[in-house]
Amino acid sequence: MDKKQDLISRIYSSMKEFSKGQKLIARYILNHYDKAAFMTAARLGSVVGVSESTVVRFAMELGYDGYPKLQRALQELIRTKLTAVQRMEITSDRIGDQDILTAVLQSDMDKIRQTLEEIDKESFQQIVEIILKARKIYILGFRSSAALASFLGFYFNLIFDNVRLVHTTSASEMFEQILRVSPEDVVIGISFPRYSRRTIKALQYAKDQGSKVIAITDTYISPLAEYADHTIIARSDMASFVDSLVAPLSVINALIVTLAMRKKEEVYSTFEKLEHIWDEYQVYEKYSHGSEDELKV
């Protein structure tokens, strides 16, 4: 029996033992667990028509030591199930009449804070060593994670000369680009809910070839983690209509800076050459402070 059925079965089997108020909660969760998973105890109680304490007692009746544990269990169950329409509905419910700018920025700050508290720093350092020793570095991320992969690839190309950013519009093209991956290589896969099946398949292939696999995702039960030797966890807001990738980008930024510091001399030399090239070929716009009269023209 999978986790979803196990939780649902517990609710059904305990129905006769629940109080009147707890039965109302149970029925709401059974019918709307995709929304209940992202409600606070107070919000769920308000929607159902019971007190917050009744919601907490309901969670404990199911064997959890508090409502947050039940909430996390529900979130894990629906992690790959939410459609874009459901996510839009949940975003609307969560924000309500709040100032959207404040609500979104606050949520992003919370995700970074959670990520910092939960990240495995020892594993992060092991990943740094693996990348430094790699013969070739493959980076892949599709759909909304393509932006993260592109950012990582751009800066890795300034640090290393053995990077391949996998671009693809079809599964066959993807496999053609990672065809020669070997045990001396490292493959970095990036994906967040709803997880890209193409990314998962690529990591599975890389694992089968004996390559070192690094996953950048949101939880250790992510399907990417199944094929990864090491996993970097960064919190994403899967219930938002727009994927919140602020925390993942921050972790990727930290990875880039750490590797750049480990290869400081080479990176310094690279940027010295690039500055001359950028200047000679006018890559960047130069701003010079003119006279006050010139500025008025």
- Give pLDDT tens digits for 268-296: 899 899 888 988 888 888 766 555 555 45
Answer for the pair 219, 225: CB distance below 8 angstroms, yes or no.
yes
> Average per-residue pLDDT in the chain?
86
Q: What percent of the chain has pLDDT over 90?
A: 52
Q: Is the model's pLDDT at 4 over the cut of 50?
A: no
The band of 161, judged by pLDDT with boundaries at 50, 70 and 90, is: very high
Looking at CATH, the fold of the domain delimited by 114-280 is given as: Rossmann fold (3.40.50)
The C-alpha atoms of residue 247 and residue 153 are separated, in whole angstroms, by 18
Average pLDDT for 37-43: 90
Cis before residue 194, ω within 30 degrees of 0?
yes
Eight-class DSSP state of 190: E
Answer for the pair 22, 10: CB distance below 8 angstroms, yes or no.
no
Looking at CATH, the fold of the domain delimited by 3-78 is given as: Arc Repressor Mutant, subunit A (1.10.10)
- Give pLDDT tens digits for 62-121: 989 999 999 888 887 666 566 666 666 666 666 666 677 887 888 889 889 989 988 999
Answer for the pair 70, 59: CB distance below 8 angstroms, yes or no.
yes
> Following DSSP, what letter does each residue of 213-280 receive, concatenated?
EEEEES-TTSTTGGG-SEEEE----TTSSS---HHHHHHHHHHHHHHHHHTHHHHHHHHHHHHHHHHH
pTM of the predicted structure, to 2 decimals: 0.73
Domain ranges of the chain: 3-78, 114-280
